[in-house]
Chain A
């Protein structure tokens, strides 16, 4: 069994990687890369050569290509000693046209061209754009740079190796306040010196690597981190995983004692402190509060995360659908061809055939008439706003459960073991609940992990109709805003969930039904 599972997991990992590769081919190779600038306001303001340079710089950031500027090359030459520091400004002064370069510049440009062309780069030189004989046009400065398209496998490998990061004491370069290393304390200073074990790092990216607090799940860590990929446009610079899991809503302030001893009302979460180089020097605010450069703190917010809202609504909808769908399916099978069965069948047809959009709006209108809140509001304390999204989400799964459970139970009703049980004098009730149900429910058990994990993903239409700040719209917004990083990250997340839920479904099924076994030895 373990061997089989291990094989399945490895298999799953490979298919997830292939999925990521396919998605990368789709969005990096097949889509026109100029599309990423469609919603970029900076891009539309720039002109001439500056626009071109901006384009290549952004493409580098987005992972399309490698990009090297002439200025960086000159700095590199100074570092290696080929040029002196005094020659920097002279070497950097490109001529408006190649013919007008000074001897030093011409030499450097020659070297630049040779170095990068030998590595397979394309060297691009843009001559100055002149507005008139003397004056350069806006953004028309002469430019020299080299670029090389990034190969797919290179991008894939660096993405996959960057998925998990472990914080080490050598994560931060340069001088630190105090000694590099880890300290273990039983009395967390953020907790006012009360008993609360924590591991504090110096030289690590996060200050608190492991700590306890009074919020679920009580023990928290910053040591391992999942990076699904940095978003470019939707939530620029923030990792997709953080976008999904970071709380939203308004700030929650409380009395906080900062490392310097300053106490004030603040929403800062000191446990989340991240190293920001040079930040303390640059700001008096940080100077007053922090004793080192671990100043990048997150804030405590009142709402749940995107995934949190989706999961709460999703999991309650799943519970509701099993609580209603399973008894309804049983009742339909027992009362086959009676009015209950017919009514149930009409409901199933309605749910399957009618576009989901139509019935979600219909139930929204009905719920609105009944006085339930029709839109979601993070700041509201009312729990009633959860009702309609949960119902809307549960409706289709109730229909599905009813349909399949009825079908499986009716299939079982003609089996020999049922006839035998009946001839043995068991009551119909007993036969249904003890024998038929147990056999009929096995295929449905397979779907339980998928529906539970699927709750994390969120629902696109339901969340949009009820304005739920959930994770359901992440993929569609990412697509609409050409956010390649987010698309890859979200797809990976979906693929992992679906692979895991199928494996868990198989395991659960073999636990429920002893006849199903995956290892060939047991067979």
Chain B
């Protein structure tokens, strides 16, 4: 009977040119059902990923990210990378892709040619990507954690605000490059020195940003009401404000993570490269190769890979940030 009714409705709706969803359908009264108070089941993170995966662009960028992570973290482990393997072979240096393929035969290794010490450019960029991505992730993790925690306290405490704003005004005027350079000169230019140098003052800008956001949300009516009802400040912070901040924090991370990769490239270019062969270090070393005909791949490969990584991280992060805003879950 129900089937028949439904058919009937379908038939009618087709007749009116409207789809099923747009029409009212009859619901029979049920005593049991009417006793229930229900809302649609809502799980925050499930909704986030539902919204996130609805956008097909995100799947493409996630695939690119997966590809990048596979090649930078797993591929060097499988294939192995020896930078000085061909050091003594003069004819293996500075080869364009076509020459490298002609000399070594076609393999993934040779499709970007060979570099200054006969190393495979393809292998080198992934080895460099691993260092650059690790640097960005570690720096972002430290800066975001410290920044968000300090920013939250900074936003809630009015007494701390005066002091921290002063500190912020002063520290931001000390050139970031100078801080990093001094750290590199005091210690040696290693990976962990750079992490230290980029996080020693880097968290302050994030904390300031979070502080501003907290201040905006802190004084909204619903928080005022919550405070009047006697909710402790920590509960307001974790239950009322933090959910609001999730999308802000994710969006911020989307900007931060690629920015460390870019900044590492920038530092290397002005001569403050770290001793590990990161992407920035590769670009710095290959700068002179850029103008030599046939050597261009040595310079452009790391530049292009750095750009792809940063764009993929940025777009994924931004869209994840959008998806984590509950207002998009409708």
Contacts and interface: CB of A to CB of B under 8 A. Distances in A.
Nearest to A16: B173
Interface string A451-471: 000000000110010000000
B266 to A, nearest CB: 6
B296 to A, nearest CB: 10
Contact of B169 (A15, A357, A461): A15
Contact of A352 (B169, B283, B314): B314
A356 B174 contact: no
A31 B186 contact: yes
B166 A15 contact: yes
Chain A interface main SS type:
helix
A354 B185 CA distance: 28
A434 to B, nearest CB: 28
Contact of B177 (A355, A475, A495): A475
B265 A499 contact: no
B321 interface: no
Contact of B174 (A23, A361, A476, A479): A23
Contact of A464 (B177, B255, B270, B303): B270
A31 B179 CA distance: 11
Contact of A350 (B179, B181, B185, B311): B311
Contacts of A26: 174, 178-179, 182
A349 interface: yes
Contacts of A464: 269-270
Contact of B311 (A15, A354, A357, A479): A354
A357 B266 contact: yes
Interface in A332-389: 349-350, 352-358, 361
B273 to A, nearest CB: 12
Contacts of A16: 173
Contacts of A476: 177, 270-271
Contact of B182 (A30, A349, A473): A30
B175 interface: yes
A23 B176 CA distance: 11
Interface string A25-39: 011001110010000
Contacts of B169: 15
A372 to B, nearest CB: 16
A35 B185 contact: yes
A22 B170 contact: yes
Given A35-B185, A358-B306, A479-B178, A353 B258 contact: yes
Contact of B303 (A23, A358, A461, A491): A358
B119 interface: no
Contacts of B179: 26
B306 A349 contact: no
Interface string A423-438: 0000000000000000
B307 interface: yes
A61 to B, nearest CB: 20
A479 B265 contact: no
Contact of A354 (B174, B255, B290, B307): B307
A32 B266 CA distance: 25
B307 A491 contact: no
Interface in B287-330: 290, 303-304, 306-307, 310-311, 313-315, 318
Interface in A465-523: 473, 475-476, 479-480, 487, 491, 494-495, 498-499
A487 B303 contact: no
Interface in B152-201: 166, 169-175, 177-179, 181-182, 185-186
Contacts of B290: 361
A19 interface: yes
A476 B182 CA distance: 12
Given A15-B169, A350-B311, A461-B269, A355 B175 contact: no
Most buried by A among B173, B271, B313: B173
B311 A356 contact: no
A353 B265 contact: no
B261 interface: yes
A19 B173 CA distance: 7
A160 interface: no
A473 B177 CA distance: 12
Most buried by B among A16, A353, A473: A353
A484 B95 CA distance: 43
Interface of B: 166, 169-175, 177-179, 181-182, 185-186, 255, 258, 261-262, 265-266, 269-271, 283, 290, 303-304, 306-307, 310-311, 313-315, 318
9 contacts: A26-B179, A31-B182, A31-B186, A35-B185, A353-B310, A353-B313, A354-B311, A464-B270, A473-B270
Interface of A: 15-16, 18-19, 22-23, 26-27, 30-32, 35, 349-350, 352-358, 361, 460-461, 464, 473, 475-476, 479-480, 487, 491, 494-495, 498-499
Given A15-B166, A353-B258, 12 more contacts: A19-B170, A23-B178, A26-B174, A26-B179, A353-B311, A353-B314, A356-B262, A460-B266, A461-B270, A475-B175, A479-B178, A494-B175
User: 6 tightest A-B contacts by CB?
Assistant: A353-B314, A355-B262, A495-B173, A354-B307, A479-B181, A353-B311
